[in-house]
Amino acid sequence: MSITILGIESSCDDTSAAVIQDGYLLSNLIADQDVHRNYGGVVPELASRAHQQNIIPVVEQAIKSAGISRNEIDAVAFTRGPGLLGSLLVGTSFAKGLAMSLNIPIIEVNHLQAHVLAQFIRKKEKPSEIPSFPFLSLLVSGGHTQLIVVRDYLDMETIGRTIDDAAGEAFDKCGKVIGLPYPAGPEIDKLSVQGNRESFQFNKPRIKDLDFSFSGLKTSFLYFVRDKVKEDKDFVQKRKPDLCASLQKTIIDILLNKLIKATEKTGIRNIGVAGGVSANSALRNTLTNEAQKRDWDICFPEFEFATDNAAMIAITGYFKFKKGLFSLLDIAPLARMDI
């Protein structure tokens, strides 16, 4: 008998629904929200309103393009947290209502765990590289930067985390300083290709053990740009690719340095990179080269599963379904959740 899971993701600014059957992806629909672009960040109230508008058509389309009927769905997996409470509430309530009407169970999913497990989404037409257990996950997203020991699908332990901003936040906030639209990460990635990463030096934090910090970098970048603009008002315009490449290199250096420490401390050489920032091309290149040098086995999620998506919620739901880990209907979303 096959297991079919509908996944729903609504933790931040993307409304997404996906269908996974026996671990294989049948559909993954994402409606992103343009409403935040003009504000330089996600506006929570606008996000939950947009989720309300999007959720029914997105779920319907996901079921339709999966080529299944509603009655084939065995459980609805949804993001319980962490994220914006109003946004999470839309997905959680919808999951409950749909599951009740179909008389099937719901499965709560931790968004962070789902990012880590995005590596395991399979596509029929294309075999993907899957890390073997135990592996170290470098989770780098807009809200989180963590190093996690993954012993099994649902057995994870965080061994390092950011004490302030996340890596994605560093990209986004520094991008804002030089006038890039939100989210700035993908734009910095693109602009860096034409820049020289050795052009400028920014402060790197000295944080003990396996923890990270990015807020000092943001401040040092801000002051640096401010001083240079005082000397030449066209500085940003003239040196944008160099600024992007140098900033990006600093962020990658910080991440790589801690990843090396984590492999030394744990002795684990299998690595999975996860979260929105894992889409960054320079990060992928740097870590792939480093893996060759250091004899690591490294995997990245496919680009479409690096940033927020419901396929990762559905695959996590699938692993929980197999263990009988269902949730009660009175479950509430949580703005904060950890691994």
List residues near ligand KG4 by CB under 6 A. 12, 141-143, 168, 171-172, 183-186, 189, 275-277, 279-280, 307-308
The residue among 62 and 312 lying less far from Zn ion, judged by its C-beta, is: 312
Least gap, CB of 290 to ligand KG4 (angstroms): 18
Rounded to whole angstroms, the Cα distance separating 47 from 87 reads: 6
Q: Which does 272 bind (CB under 5 to 8 A by kind): Zn ion, ligand KG4, none?
A: none
In this structure, what token pair is assigned to residue 242?
Answer: 């160099």
Name beta bridge partners: 77: 7, 107
Least gap, CB of 266 to ligand KG4 (angstroms): 24
> In a 10 Å sphere around its CB, with 0-12 CB exposed, 13-18 middle and 19+ buried, how is residue 85 labelled?
middle
Least gap, CB of 276 to ligand KG4 (angstroms): 2
Query: How many other C-beta atoms are found inside a 10 Å radius of the C-beta of residue 22?
Result: 12
Say how many Å lie between the first and final Cα of the chain, rounded: 31
Place of tokens 């390092």: 160
In this structure, what token pair is assigned to residue 286?
Answer: 């740097």
Q: At a CB cut-off of 8 Å and minimum separation 6, what does 196 contact?
A: 241, 242, 245, 246
Q: What 3-state DSSP class applies to 226?
A: helix
Q: Which does 16 bind (CB under 5 to 8 A by kind): ligand KG4, Zn ion, none?
A: none
Least gap, CB of 295 to Zn ion (angstroms): 30
Least gap, CB of 183 to Zn ion (angstroms): 11
Q: How far is CA 197 from CA 67, 200, 244, 293, in A?
A: 47, 7, 8, 21
Answer yes or no whether residue 308 interacts with Zn ion by CB under 5 A. yes
The residue among 275 and 317 lying less far from ligand KG4, judged by its C-beta, is: 275
The residue among 14 and 74 lying less far from ligand KG4, judged by its C-beta, is: 14
Answer yes or no whether residue 141 interacts with Zn ion by CB under 5 A. yes
Q: Which does 312 bind (CB under 5 to 8 A by kind): ligand KG4, Zn ion, none?
A: none
The residue among 21 and 280 lying less far from ligand KG4, judged by its C-beta, is: 280
The residue among 30 and 76 lying less far from ligand KG4, judged by its C-beta, is: 30
Positions in the binding site for Zn ion (CB under 5 A) = 141, 308
